[in-house]
Amino acid sequence: MPVIQAHKISYHFDNGEILFRDLSCTLTHSKVGLVGRNGVGKSILAAILTQALSPTYGQVVLSGKVRTYTQLPSALLGSDLTLAQYLGVADTLEALQKIEQGACDQRWFDLVGDQWNLQHELESQLAEMRLPQDVNFPCAQLSGGQLARLQLWQLFQSNADLLVLDEPSNHLDKQGREWLRNQMNAFSGQILLISHDRFLLREMDQIWELSTLGLAQYGGNYDNYREQKGLEVAALERQIDSVHKEQKRLERQTQLNREKAEQRQAQGMKLRRTGSQAKILLNGMRDSATGAMSNRAKNDSGRRELLSQKASALEQRWEQVKPQKFYMSDAQDSRKGQLVSIVAGVLPFGSNAPIHLQLSSRSKVWLQGSNGAGKSTLLSVLRGEQTLLSGDCLINSKVYYLDQHFGLLQSNQTMLETVMDMCVGVLEAEARTLLAGIGFRRDSVFRKVEQLSGGEKMKLSMLVVSHQPTQPLLLLDEPDNHLDLESKQLLASTLNHYNGAFILVSHDEDFVHESGVGSVYQMGSD
């Protein structure tokens, strides 16, 4: 029996807004990836499928044990649990310690059972996950990536029939993502993965796509899904083109019929004036022509309405599937020389290896390094927030810092105020035109930044930075971390066409390569 069977489920918010309706699905494949734009309801759908949330309408049948990983802040950050306590082995480790100290109480032996190598095995596993090997280490002192690995590892060690993983790779570096992929492939149960990470989605057996059009299912992994989506988009384009051609053909035919009717009417009037034919015959011919013309007009009107409805339905679907586009300023940066020059620089935190980094006005650099190597510290130095312990650092450019929250923007400003305030010399009319170019028209320009989604903040940020007098140096600190797949691809394309320089930190190699990086700078180790 399938672990999940859902029949015509719908979810409405308290204000009556409908998030989705009449979705049906059955989870049969080993690994299923759930994708879709941010805000479409993926996490809510997953909560309903695992019966953590009730649908407004419909039914879900759940068979088997389910465990869930969420992207919400971990409760461990506010706890006083140690690694051993969180993993549920603290009592066993204590029993081992008591026995080693000479205790002979039977209860200690009962606690140990056959787990005599637990301490050694646990330390080896912690080392493999790059976690502190001290089993008494406080969980609250772990980094975001370490916490993610710890929680995920516990899930993979469970006896769950289904794991629901909601954005599990958000805090993981390259090694962490490879570890996660291996754990997923070795897991004996089923997995429902909610993710924008193509590296993980390529391991799936099936892709579910949630959109305002419903829940579509595609066989194969992410690459198969993209290929099928491409074929769908091409077919939809052909259908829209065919309907538009049919509409034009109908209009031409209608005009031709009208002209012929007017010609026949003119000929009838001429015959009537000459008196060469009986009036009753002419009246009959006129009535017959009028009736035929009326029937044709009705048929044409009906056909026109059907084509209009078909075109409207196709264009609504096209709005959901068409690739997003972003039009940047094509201004060229004429500055010469180095924008950034760091010679023998030593960071205040992270790696002690000296940094030698030179950037010109068109440099596009991928900044690599494991967690803790000092990537964020280097970006902080370039922003002027920290200084090097030693070495020289020269920055000859305006610097914009864009992280995963796009904190460049002021949350209490409207989009219109943001553009007019941050783009020198741009007046309201031009600002409205620029905002319309990224999808914000009429009163939507008065939405405040704090009300925008991650993808919307990204588009607004890139609009601002691309309309500066000189192209600023962009410091991109995992800007793709919370973006959906479509927004990721749009940002990558935007960066690829950016005429200035940037330094990019990201663990998503697909995103990095699509961004057009020209070189890699590897942060050294101590």
- pLDDT band, residue 352 (cuts 50/70/90): confident
Phi, psi of 479 (to 5 degrees): -70, -15
Query: Does 289 have pLDDT greater than 70?
Result: no
Residue 66 has pLDDT above 80, yes or no: yes
Which single residue is written with the structure tokens 């940066």? 333
Rounded to whole angstroms, how far apart are CA atoms 116 and 93? 9
Distance separating alpha carbons of residues 43 and 165, to the nearest angstrom: 10
- State the average pLDDT over residues 158-187: 91
The CA distance from 377 to 475, in Å, is 12
Q: 216 near 208, Cβ under 8 Å?
A: yes
In the three-class reduction of DSSP (H, G, I as helix; E, B as strand; rest coil), residue 417 is classed as helix
Query: Over 80: is that where the pLDDT of 157 sits?
Result: yes
Report the amino acid identity of residue 472: P
Average pLDDT over residues 473-497: 88
pLDDT at residue number 118: 83
Report the range of poorest mean pLDDT among 78-92, 292-306, 338-352.
292-306
* pLDDT in the model for residue 305: 81
Q: What pLDDT, on a 0 to 100 scale, did the predictor assign at position 24?
A: 96
Q: How far apart are CA 240 and CA 324, in angstroms?
A: 18
Confidence band, pLDDT 50/70/90 cuts, at residue 515: very high
d(C-alpha 259, C-alpha 43), whole Å: 60
Strand partners, 66: 162
- The string of pLDDT tens digits covering residues 363-387 is 999 998 877 778 888 999 998 888 8
What is the structure's pLDDT at 222?
95
Lowest mean pLDDT among 80-94, 311-325, 372-386, 418-432: 311-325
* Both structure tokens of 393: 């650092």
Tell me how far apart the alpha carbons of residues 378 and 373 are, in angstroms, rounded to a whole number.
10
pLDDT of 277 over the 70 cut:
no
Is the CB of residue 108 less than 8 Å from the CB of residue 98? yes
pLDDT reading at 151 higher than 80:
yes
Residue 506 contacts residue 475 (beta carbons within 8 Å): no
pLDDT of residue 526: 45
Indicate yes or no: pTM above 0.85: no
Lowest-confidence region among 86-90, 296-300, 451-455, 491-495: 296-300
Per the CB < 8 A criterion, the answer to whether 201 and 193 are in contact is: yes
| pLDDT band, very low/low/confident/very high, at 173 (cuts 50, 70, 90) | confident
> Which amino acid does the sequence have at 277?
Q
Task: Label the pairing between strands 338-346 and 355-360.
Answer: antiparallel
Beta-sheet pairing, 399-403 with 473-477: parallel
Residue 486 has pLDDT above 70, yes or no: yes
Contact 358, 337 (CB under 8 A): no
Start-to-end CA span in the chain (Å): 54
The answer to whether 131 and 144 are in contact (CB under 8 A) is no
Residue 491 pLDDT grade (very low, low, confident, very high; cuts 50, 70, 90): confident
Q: Which residues pair with 191 in a beta bridge?
A: 31, 163
E strand residue ranges, 331-382 = 338-346, 355-360, 364-368
Partners of residue 401 on adjacent β-strands? 475
Neighbouring C-alpha atoms within 13 Å toward the C-beta of 506: 30
Per-residue pLDDT at 255 exceeds 70: yes
Token pair 């905002």 in the structure block, residue: 435
Helices (H), 219-278: 222-274
pLDDT-derived band at 49 (thresholds 50, 70, 90) equals very high
Judge whether residue 330 has pLDDT over 90: no
**Residue 314 above 70 pLDDT?**
yes
Answer yes or no: is pLDDT of 344 > 60.
yes
**Length of the chain as a residue count:** 526
Give the whole-angstrom CA distance, residue 157 versus residue 274.
Answer: 101
Q: Based on C-alpha coordinates, what's the Rg of the chain?
A: 32
C-alpha closest to that of 47 among 28, 14, 72, 17: 72
pLDDT at 291 over 50: yes
pLDDT (0 to 100) of residue 283: 60
pLDDT of residue 290: 63
Starting at the edge strand that comes first in sequence, how are the strands of the sheet with 31-35 ordered? 66-69, 162-166, 190-194, 31-35, 206-211, 214-219
Helices and strands (H and E) in the chain: how many: 16, 17
**Residue 270 carries which side chain, given as an amino acid letter?**
K
What mean pLDDT, rounded, does the chain reach? 85
Count of CB atoms within 10 A of residue 355's CB?
20
d(CA 331, CA 466): 8
* Whole-number pLDDT of residue 227: 92
